[in-house]
Structure 1
Amino acid sequence: MLSDISIWQNLMIMIGEATIIIIVGMFLLSFLVVAISFYSIKNGQFYFPTILKPGLVMTEGFAKGICRFFGLDDQELVTFFIRLHNKMNTVPFSKIPYNKRAIFLPQCLRNAQCPAHLTPEGLVCRRCGRCEIGAHIDELENLGYMVWIAPGSTLIKRMVKKYRPEGIIGVGCLMEVKEGLELTDKMSIVGMGVLTATDGCVETTMNWNDLLEVALLSSPE
Structure 2
Amino acid sequence: MEIVESSRKRLFIGLIAATSLAVTTVLALLWIVPTIGLDTIHPWASAVWGGVVALAIVLVGWASLGLALSVAAGRTLPLTKRLRGVTIKLFLPLMIILARLFGISKERVRNSFIKVNNELVLGEGKHYKPHEILLLLPHCLQSSTCGVRLTYDIFNCKRCGLCPVAGLLALTEAYGVHMAIATGGTIARRIVVQKRPRLILAVACERDLASGIQDTYPLPVFGVLNERPKGPCLDTVVPLERLEQALRHFLQAERKPVVILPRLTPTMDLPE
Any conservation in 2 of the 1:116–1:123 contact (CA below 8 Å)?
no
Aligned counterpart, 1:76? 108
Q: Which residue of 2 aligns with 1:191?
A: 221
- One-letter amino acid of the structure 2 residue matched with residue 98 of structure 1: P
Residues 57, 154 of structure 1: alpha-carbon distance in 2 compared, 3 angstrom cutoff: closer
Contact 2:75–2:124 (Cα < 8 Å) also in 1? no
Q: Which residue of 2 aligns with 1:59?
A: 91
Q: Are 1:204 and 2:253 counterparts? A: no
* 3-state DSSP of counterpart to 2:251: coil
Partners of 2:246 and 2:142 in 1: CA distance: 21
2:168 is aligned, of 124, 133, 136, to: 136
CA distance in structure 1 between the aligned counterparts of 2:151 and 2:142, rounded to whole angstroms:
16
CA distance in structure 1 between the aligned counterparts of 2:152 and 2:168, rounded to whole angstroms: 22
CA distance in 1, matches of 2:249, 2:160: 29
Among residues 190, 198, 201, which one is paired with 1:166 in the alignment? 198
In 1, distance between residues paired with 2:164 and 2:155? 15
| Greater displacement, 92-101 / 48-57 | 48-57
Q: How far apart in 1 are the matches of 2:93 and 2:189?
A: 26
C-alpha displacement of 1:177: 0.7
Hey, what's the Cα distance between the residues in 1 that align with 2:76 and 2:245? Answer: 22
Shift of 1:173: 0.3
Q: What is the number of equivalent residue pairs in this alignment? A: 196
> Which residue is 1:155 aligned to?
187
Which structure shows the bigger proportion of residues in strand conformation? Answer: 1
On the 8 A contact 2:134/2:197 being kept in 1, the answer is: yes
2:150 and 2:250 mapped to 1: Cα distance?
33
Give distance in 2, aligned partners of 1:154 and 1:144: 25
Question: SS of the counterpart of 1:180?
Answer: helix
Amino acid at match of 2:148: A
Give identity over the alignment, percent.
Answer: 21
Whole-angstrom distance in 2 between the partners of 1:48 and 1:146: 26
AA matched with 2:202: G
Larger RCO (alpha carbons 8 Å, 6+ apart): 1
- Cα pair 2:110 2:206 within 8 Å, conserved: yes
**If the length of structure 1 is used for normalisation, what is the TM-score?**
0.70
Separation in 2, partners of 1:121, 1:183: 24
Give the residue type in structure 2 aligned to 1:211: L
**TM-aligned CA deviation for residue 116 of structure 1:** 1.7
Partner of 2:19: none
Q: Secondary structure at the match of 2:249?
A: coil
Deviations 1:43-83 (A, max 9, x none): xx558966694434312333222212222334322212111
In 2, the alpha carbon distance for the partners of 1:216 and 1:209 equals 10
Compared with structure 1, are the counterparts of its residues 126 and 183 closer, same or farther at alpha carbon in structure 2 (3 Å cutoff)?
farther
Say which of 159, 184, 188 aligns to 1:127. Answer: 159
Q: Residue 17 of structure 2 aligns with which residue?
A: none
CA RMSD of aligned residues (A): 3.6
TM-score with structure 2 setting the length: 0.58
Q: Which runs of 5+ in 1 are unaligned?
A: 1-5
Specify the code of the residue in structure 1 equivalent to 2:149: H
